[in-house]
Chain A
Amino acid sequence: MSTLAHVFEAAGLSTIVFASMLEVAEKMSLPRGLYCEFPLGRPLGKPSDPAFQRDVLERGLTLLEATAPVLERYPEVIETDEAPMVCAMPPRFDPDVPPAVDEARGLRAAYDRALVARGVTGVGRAIDVDTIAAALDVLHQWAHGASWKDVPLPGKNTVAVGHDIRAYYEEAATELVTGPAPGGRAAEAWFFETTEAGKTMMEARKALQEQEAPFPFWFYMAPAHR
């Protein structure tokens, strides 16, 4: 983003970067930057809060009055909520399949409702929605000793499949969680710490590491701090 600001200004455009990394913004000598210490992934700060988003935008637009490069801070900091969001989950239904597979099947109705409500899905990077449970079944096998070389993962790319599984779960959860929007890392914490799919992904990731699979195969299946 900072590089683009330089390129765009050189081409004759006026830019405002809503910067999320202060040190990077400082080192890169932005033309105009508003540093916003908000949860990463939320540059306007608060979902479903038009007044707040508008205030951020208007503060950014005031930087157009500056006569030289400028970097200001948005006065409010939004802390990232790392406590898992609370989401009712389907009960165990079929004891003959791995818990994550059972769980994923149980979430399908909520996912379908979310798709109708939102009109678009993040699932489909490597696998479609009908393959989520099958992918979890393979991750379960990897976690329990199967070799990733012998038991292929549908969609092949572990990182892309990981995104698809998380998208499926988090979209379904939007239909199951009530109350205020979850904070910055509440959905991540919910997924990796409380769902069977998240636990299975973490176990499969560890198994891949132990099987000496290439680093990018397993590392990017979960956030770096996990």
Chain B
Amino acid sequence: MTTPADATMRAYAATLPVPEFESTAFTRLGKPLSEARVAIVTSAALHRPDQEGFGQAETGFRALDRSDRNLVMGHWSPNFDHTGFRLDLNVVYPIDRLEELAAEGVIGDVAPRHFAFAGNQPDTVSEIRLDTGPACAAELIKDAVDVVLLTPV
């Protein structure tokens, strides 16, 4: 059981309209995990300080290099915790954990680039669905990524 504030947010989110998908696209990993390249895509609106911050209700994304650690959380919602990220970015963006999994051979490789969107999207999410989402997928495929871990805030 969660305590009231998060429970309230979850209950509220459950009432919001969501986009409906008639079928669930499903891509099976066609190789062993130990040979797969893995990327992280987060909705925490992360960006490097030298990149433009996220606008309110922005539908675009930022590319993060594998080596980036000094990142800012540019999400506009005041309704979730930001301090966990301030203490350890891996609680939102588990890049160090991925490096460890790759070093141990559990996964094949860490992608050279990872991507951040802003979670506070317009209800229709049509831009992400038709424009920026496919554009991000194309970037991931360009980097020969097999598996994407999606971490929401």
Q: Which A residues are within 8 Å of any B CB, using their own CB? A: 1-24, 27-31, 37, 39-48, 50, 53-54, 57-58, 60-61, 64, 67-69, 77, 79-82, 118-122, 124-125, 159-160, 162-163, 166-167, 170-171, 174, 181-182, 184-188, 220-225
Contacts and interface: CB of A to CB of B under 8 A. Distances in A.
Interface in B22-64: 24-29, 33, 36, 41-43, 49, 53, 56
A222 B149 contact: no
Contacts of A7: 128-129, 133-134, 137
A3 B128 contact: yes
A12 B13 CA distance: 29
Nearest to B140: A13
Interface in B1-34: 1-6, 8-10, 12-14, 16, 18-19, 21, 24-29, 33
B94 interface: yes
Contacts of A68: 26
A82 B141 contact: no
Interface of B: 1-6, 8-10, 12-14, 16, 18-19, 21, 24-29, 33, 36, 41-43, 49, 53, 56, 69-74, 76-88, 90-92, 94, 96-98, 100-101, 106-107, 117, 119, 121, 125, 128-129, 133-134, 136-138, 140-141, 145-153
B143 to A, nearest CB: 11
B129 A5 contact: no
A15 B81 contact: no
A39 B82 CA distance: 10
Given A13-B147, A24-B13, A122 B86 contact: yes
